[in-house]
Amino acid sequence: MGWFSGVGKAASEVLPVRLGGQRFPGKLATPVRMAGLDWALLWVTLALLMWGLVMVYSASVAMPDNPKFARYAHTHFLTRHVLALAVAFLAATLAFQVPMATWEKVAPWMFVVSLLLLILVLVPFIGKGVNGARRWISLGVMNFQPSELAKFAVLLYAADYMVRKMEVKERFFRAVLPMAVAIAVVGVLLLAEPDMGAFMVISVIAMGILFLGGVNARMFFVIATVVVVAFGLMVMLSEWRRERIFAYLDPWSDKYSMGKGYQLSHSLIAFGRGEIFGVGLGGSIEKLHWLPEAHTDFLMAVIGEEFGLIGVLVVIGLFMWMTRRIMHIGRQAIALDRLFAGLVAQGVGVWVGFQTFINIGVNLGALPTKGLTLPLMSYGGSAILMNLIALAVVLRIDYENRVLMRGGRV
């Protein structure tokens, strides 16, 4: 069988589909409309974006009362978020027009561009530092975070790499080693910022595509073990990362001072105040300068306080449905012998699902605090931009699937 297994099964262990009088092999678990967009996925995306817009305003409206933000208007973050959404919608519209064959051709070049930007962000007077981290490049109208582009670029590169390696028979280490080196280079650059959260997401995206692309289970667990050991060493060798871990284990030991447990303890207080139905939109107390980063990393805590358990479950349900739908689109593409497109779609599903899981887990105190935003909802222009571009590519994959199933060409 070699070190690749599973991709052939995805296309062969399927139900035959009859289209236009011909039989096509393909796993189409649910019938789809033969033309147009996946409107359900589009509407769920818009719902999360609009809800996020409302919550960003709710979480940031009182921030100018803090002397640190005194020069900002109460609508400052709302205005910038609307601008980011406008830019992201334009970019996503353009991305949807690009055929998947073109994305496959430019995948290696996008990876190179992302590496160059990750280097540039570390250069003084180019990279912008915030709270001790140098992660942004100022573009005037918005600050761009190269690590967000790196997530998308690594996703495309890993999918393209797996397609190319499927075409030749190579020993496992010879085939996977170049990909491992590429991820290691990205990791070194991200840890220099530092941005361990982004590195974690990128590692999971790459590993997910390796697994979905057909790396056999034994070799996959070898890779997973190496990654887990690497992250463990990073924590052990970094004092401030160890402090974060210990704070996560007992956040209440440091709940009053602005220490490592302060943010998490106030996030838990916010969820506790929300109870079942929440205190109502705009009624959060924790966003009033108690909970740091309420409009970015800890937006879910404000949702929990204002909409309660019901609101939290609705958000989780929407993201679960979105992730499942994206993975289904990927399986359809693979069943139609479009391996690159299928792996890209499933990689986006892994990205959205894993980052949502980590963000909500951090907010609930189930995971150590990491600097990861809630996809589509948190304040952050770069994240919104790349999330919408990635979802536009998924919609393009679904569109091309429909065209092929109608007997057309892409």
What SS3 state is found at 229?
helix
State the pLDDT at residue 169. Answer: 47
The answer to whether the CB of 294 falls within 8 A of the CB of 286 is yes
Give the pLDDT confidence of 326-340 residue by residue, as tens digits: 999 999 999 999 999
pLDDT band at 172 (very low <50, low <70, confident <90, very high): low
The C-alpha torsion from 252 through 257 and 261 to 267, rounded to 10°, is: 80
Q: 101-105, 179-183, 208-212: lowest mean pLDDT where? A: 179-183
State the pLDDT at residue 67. Answer: 78
Give the pLDDT confidence of 299-334 residue by residue, as tens digits: 999 999 999 999 999 999 999 999 999 999 999 999
What's the order of all strands across the beta sheet hosting 143-144?
127-130, 133-138, 143-144
d(CA 410, CA 403): 7
The answer to whether the CB of 99 falls within 8 A of the CB of 410 is yes
Q: Is the dihedral of CA 274, 275, 279, 280 positive or negative?
A: positive
d(CA 230, CA 184): 10
Q: Which residue has the higher pLDDT, 90 or 239?
A: 90
Residues 6+ apart with CB under 8 A from 104: 156, 159, 160, 163, 340
pLDDT, mean of residues 197-212: 88
Bridge partners of 128, per DSSP, are 136
Q: Which residue has the higher pLDDT, 47 or 161?
A: 47
Between the CA of residue 226 and those of 173, 230, 277, 339, 347, what are the distances in Å? 13, 6, 43, 27, 21
State the pLDDT at residue 225. Answer: 76
Would you call the peptide bond into 194 cis, given omega within 30 degrees of 0 as the criterion? Answer: yes
What SS3 state is found at 128?
strand
Residue type, 318: L
The answer to whether the CB of 195 falls within 8 A of the CB of 135 is yes
- State the pTM of this model: 0.86
What SS3 state is found at 220?
helix
pLDDT, mean of residues 228-257: 69
Please return the burial class of 92, using the count of CB atoms within 10 Å of its CB with bins 0-12, 13-18 and 19+.
buried
Phi, psi of 127, deg, nearest 5: -75, 140
Give the pLDDT confidence of 369-394 residue by residue, as tens digits: 777 899 999 998 899 999 999 999 99
Q: To which H or E segment does residue 208 belong?
A: helix 196-213
pLDDT, mean of residues 236-250: 69
286-290: long-range contacts at Cβ-Cβ below 8 A with a sequence spacing of 24 or more?
287/58, 287/59, 287/60, 287/62, 288/62, 288/65, 289/62, 289/63, 289/65, 289/66, 290/266
Residues 6+ apart with CB under 8 A from 70: 64
State the pLDDT at residue 28. Answer: 41
